[in-house]
């Protein structure tokens, strides 16, 4: 049972409140949408209060070529990624001692909002003193499911190499994909929802003495994972790649899909491990948006208190794509007690589901 030992994060300095972004969107899209005032209801209804951005609001009013946006992504990703890693490995809140960079055997880099070759973790290895033999596993394109998928791949690595300590580093700078000339409702919804940030998670194998490193009274262990992809659902969520960058694809049917498609998947996954939702103490859900969280409550028959941490993350950070579920997980680290069960879930392009079963020991 690979263990989650620490989590660190880093956010850009620009913080914008939802009212500011709504006024910006009203000015920008006023001539394009005849029913703009009705559409702007997505801003307050989404219950996002503030978000972090790598640029100030004036920057987003202008067109920027893809190369400029992507260069901004690389620069900020290296800076914020390095900070999140350091915060994770040196986190006195979760660790009894600092974990040296040289102890890390592999880095799983998760992103969908920028492109770089060499990938970002290679560039960070020229900033932080990782071993030259550190394995690099960049994973691109999983969108909002990427954080949970990264944990799953780290789980599998640590099962194969039980002495390993690995990092899952989710870097998402969603604002740099903003398209001021995209007049779709998907773009307007994305503008109301997405933010920027980086989260890093330290995972270790069974033969690492977790108790000698981690100061948590109860340490979360990953017991099992499952990935599921819905056939013929490529148009539900993702990017449309055009000359000037990435254009968001965001189906209005996602909450309905959660209700109809996800429930049997969750039920079968838990049944394989002789569990049911009634036995789950902590629901670690990626907050794709208010409607998605509401759909979780409805279809899985949850008490609303079980998505409180997810809602708090959505309220204070918005949707940071893959990194968001890792922030939600962070909220549970010191809340859970020994013997309790957690279910981690996230949905992303594919259309796909990622599930992880967690127990605190």
What is the DSSP secondary structure assignment for residue 92, as one 8-state letter? Answer: T
Beta-sheet strand order (sheet of 220-229): 135-140, 106-111, 165-173, 196-204, 3-10, 220-229, 352-360, 341-348, 282-285
Which residue in 144, 158, 214, 344 is the catalytic one?
Answer: 144
Positive or negative: CA dihedral 300, 305, 308, 311: positive
Q: How far is CA 281 from CA 51, 66, 268, 303, 307, in A?
A: 29, 44, 18, 11, 11
The candidate with the shortest Cα–Cα distance to 265, out of 164, 357, 146, 153, is: 357
- Would you call 88 a catalytic residue per the annotation? no
Q: Which tokens in the block code for residue 13?
A: 């300095």
| Cβ 128 vs Cβ 85: under 8 Å | yes
| Omega of the bond leading into 287 within 30 degrees of 0 (cis) | no
- The set of long-range contacts for 63-68, using a CB threshold of 8 Å and a minimum separation of 24, is 63/180, 63/181, 63/244, 65/244, 66/243, 66/244, 66/245
Query: Would you give the distance in Å from CA 126 to the centre of its chain?
Result: 25
Beta bridge partners of 137: 108
> CA 106 to CA 245: how far, in whole Å?
30
Angle among Cα 353, 359, 360 to the nearest 5 degrees reads: 135
Residues labelled catalytic: 144
């Amino acid at each position: 049972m690979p263990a989650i030992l620490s989590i660190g994060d880093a956010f850009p300095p620009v913080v914008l409140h939802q009212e500011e972004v709504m006024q910006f969107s009203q000015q920008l899209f006023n001539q394009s949408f005849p029913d703009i005032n009705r559409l702007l209801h997505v801003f307050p209804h989404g219950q996002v209060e503030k978000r972090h951005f790598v640029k100030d609001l004036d920057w987003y009013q202008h067109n920027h070529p893809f190369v400029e946006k992507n260069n901004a992504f690389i620069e900020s990703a290296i800076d914020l990624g390095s900070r999140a890693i350091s915060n994770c490995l040196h986190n006195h809140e979760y660790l009894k001692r600092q974990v040296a960079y040289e102890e890390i055997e592999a880095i799983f880099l998760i992103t969908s909002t920028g492109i770089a070759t060499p990938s970002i973790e290679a560039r960070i290895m020229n900033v932080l003193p990782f071993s030259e033999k550190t394995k690099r596993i960049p994973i691109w394109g999983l969108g909002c499911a990427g954080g949970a998928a990264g944990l799953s791949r780290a789980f599998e690595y640590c099962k194969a190499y039980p002495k390993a300590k690995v990092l899952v580093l989710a870097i998402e700078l969603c604002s740099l994909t903003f398209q001021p000339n995209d007049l779709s409702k998907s773009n307007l919804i994305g503008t109301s929802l997405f933010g920027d940030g980086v989260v890093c998670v330290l995972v270790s194998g069974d033969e690492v003495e977790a108790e000698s490193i981690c100061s948590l009274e109860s340490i979360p262990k990953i017991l099992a994972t499952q990935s599921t992809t819905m056939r013929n659902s490529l148009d539900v969520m993702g990017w449309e790649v055009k000359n000037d960058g990435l254009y968001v694809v965001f189906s209005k049917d996602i909450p309905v899909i959660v209700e109809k498609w996800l429930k049997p998947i969750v039920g079968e996954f838990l049944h394989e491990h002789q569990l049911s939702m009634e036995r789950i103490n902590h629901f670690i859900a990626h907050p794709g948006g208010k409607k998605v969280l509401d759909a979780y409550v409805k279809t899985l028959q949850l008490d609303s208190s079980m998505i409180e941490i997810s809602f708090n993350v959505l309220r204070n950070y918005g949707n940071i794509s893959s990194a968001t579920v890792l922030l939600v997980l962070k909220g549970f680290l010191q809340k859970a007690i020994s013997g309790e069960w957690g279910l981690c879930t996230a949905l992303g392009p594919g259309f796909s589901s990622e599930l992880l079963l967690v127990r605190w020991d």
